[in-house]
A and B are shown apart, each in its own frame.
Chain A
Amino acid sequence: MNRDRFQTLAEAYGGELHRWPAAEQAAAAAFAAADPAWSRACLAEASALDALLDAASGPAVRGALADRIAAGAPLPGRGRRPRVWWLPAGLGAGLAAACAVGLLVGVQLGDRATQNQAVSTAVADSEASLDFGGDA
């Protein structure tokens, strides 16, 4: 840790050491103790901006919104399985045969299914992937 690094961290993360990268907090604290006047001035500069940023409050939570969101959560067991009770009997026999074939194929594809599960997880995660435009 030196003055340059200390200042870079203060300019990036603000005037409170607990917001700084955890791996550098101890070194920063030791540096501040060794060079107190300069460090104090550096942190004060960063803290002044922190205080201004804190003057901007975020949107308030409205109770109706929270209720609406909670109401959108799925209930247990709802909507997972399609209902097939209306299928004609003839179709039922065909369905049984198809299931038998499917079982055989399914055994062979077992390994692939494991892989697909991993892919599904990746796909689910990809919902969170960001499509960023150009950098600033």
Chain B
Amino acid sequence: MGESDPDDELLSRVAEGDPAAVRALVARKLPRLLSLGGRMLGDAQEAEDVAQDAFLRVWKQAPRWKPGAARFDTWLHRVALNLCYDRLRKRRERPQAEPPDRPDEGPGPDRGLLASDTGRRVNAALQALPERQREAVVLCHYQDLGNIEAAAAMGVSVEALESLLGRGRRTLRAALADLREP
């Protein structure tokens, strides 16, 4: 890892109990965690739960964080993905409670998920993707991770990531073909 991690300084202040650093880290990372959880799980409330659980791990990890060992953002994505997978696994174990292939069809009054028809269609298509393909698309397109970071967060090779991305995006393109402008 050649470049310094932009989160290292903030994390060291968090470890010292600096309230301003805590608020700054929440402001910096919470939108990314909600985005990740919302798109992986298709449910805004579950995304909030994942974000809260991920931050509990951040508070625990901050005093032990070793700058240079890994990028904090990559580590955080991996933690959040793990939490998402726990929830997806529980859904599979209780299919009658919440069918895993039923996408969130839209926002409630206090939900932040999109309101437009196009957005709903896109989210539904995203939720219909196999989990690993969805994860690859979410990390690279929505979370804007580079290929090396995304592969590290997923625990796969860069080649495998590229394959998952290609398959996922081809499926999305076919599913959303009717939305394309002529």
Partner of B118, one of A20, A55, A66, A136: A55
**A-side contacts of B179, CB under 8 Å:** 52
**B-side contacts of A4, CB under 8 Å:** none
Instruction: Say yes or no for A135: interface residue by CB 8 A criterion.
Output: yes
Chain B: minimal CB distance from A60 (Å): 3
B44 and A70 contact, CB distance less than 8 A: no
Interface string of A41-54 (1 = CB under 8 A from B): 00000101110110
**B-side contacts of A57, CB under 8 Å:** 112-114, 119
Given contacts A58-B39, A72-B59, A121-B66, contact A129 B82 (CB under 8 A): yes
**B-side contacts of A120, CB under 8 Å:** 64
Main secondary structure of the interface of B (DSSP, over half): helix
Q: How far is the CA of A50 from the CA of B169 in the complex (A)?
A: 9
Given contacts A12-B166, A52-B118, A58-B142, contact A129 B31 (CB under 8 A): no
Interface 9-mer from A73-81, A88-96, A97-105: A73-81
**B-side contacts of A124, CB under 8 Å:** 61, 64
A53 and B172 contact, CB distance less than 8 A: yes
Chain B: minimal CB distance from A100 (Å): 29
Partner of A55, one of B89, B114, B167: B114
Please tell me the number of chain B residues within 8 Å of chain A, measured between CB atoms. 78
**B-side contacts of A59, CB under 8 Å:** 34-35, 37-38, 44, 47-48, 111-113
Q: Which residues of B contact A (CB under 8 A)?
A: 14, 16-17, 19, 22-23, 26-27, 30-31, 34-35, 37-39, 44, 47-48, 51-52, 55-57, 59, 61, 64, 66, 69-70, 75, 78-79, 81-82, 85, 89, 110-114, 116, 118-120, 122-123, 126, 129-133, 137, 140-142, 144, 146-148, 154-155, 158, 162-167, 169-170, 172-173, 176, 179-181
Q: List 27 A-B contacts (CB under 8 A).
A: A12-B166, A12-B169, A13-B162, A14-B141, A49-B172, A52-B118, A52-B122, A53-B142, A55-B118, A56-B123, A60-B34, A70-B26, A72-B55, A74-B59, A76-B17, A121-B69, A124-B64, A125-B70, A128-B75, A129-B78, A130-B81, A130-B154, A130-B155, A132-B85, A133-B89, A136-B129, A136-B130
Q: List the 5 closest pairs (A to B, CB-CB), nearest first.
A: A136-B130, A76-B17, A60-B112, A59-B112, A58-B35
